[in-house]
Amino acid sequence: MARNFQVLSVGLDRGLMTSRSLLLRTSGYAVHEALSRLQALTMVHSDLIDVLLICHTVPENEKQTLVSAVRKQRLLIPILCISESEFPGPSSDGCTVISNMPAELLAAIDSAVNEPPGLRPILG
């Protein structure tokens, strides 16, 4: 179960972030939380983060700004954006849109961290 991957979870709802972080930690991930774009960028810049997870609570314009800034620092980092819907739409804006359902969320993160960087789609 020990995955030893570092996930940066970004969101504006502390309750959602806490429950999502608990799920990820229980599944073997190390989780860092950011409640602002500045916190997120500081952590991404540290180069310790393996995957960026952006909650649906982050407004679209902030999400796009964050994704763009992260891509300038870390071109190959997987960026996953959680959909409000149970059935996420297509990926866009530099991130892969994923479901908020626990099993699907974990599968998407597992896939993102286990796929070789050269094979990951770079969107946006």
Domains of the chain: 6-83+95-115 (3.40.50.2300)
For residue 92, the Cα-to-chain-centroid distance in whole angstroms is 14
**C-alpha neighbours within 13 Å on the C-beta side of residue 56:** 15
The answer for residues whose C-beta is within 8 angstroms of residue 107's C-beta and 6 or more apart is none
Those residues with Cβ within 8 angstroms of residue 87's Cβ, 6 or more apart along the chain or in another chain: 99
Q: Are the beta carbons of 124 and 94 closer than 8 angstroms?
A: yes
Pick the more confident residue, 60 or 94. Answer: 60
Whole-prediction pTM value?
Answer: 0.86
Q: What is the pLDDT of residues 67-121, one digit of tens each?
A: 999 999 888 899 999 988 766 566 667 889 999 899 999 999 999 988 765 544 4
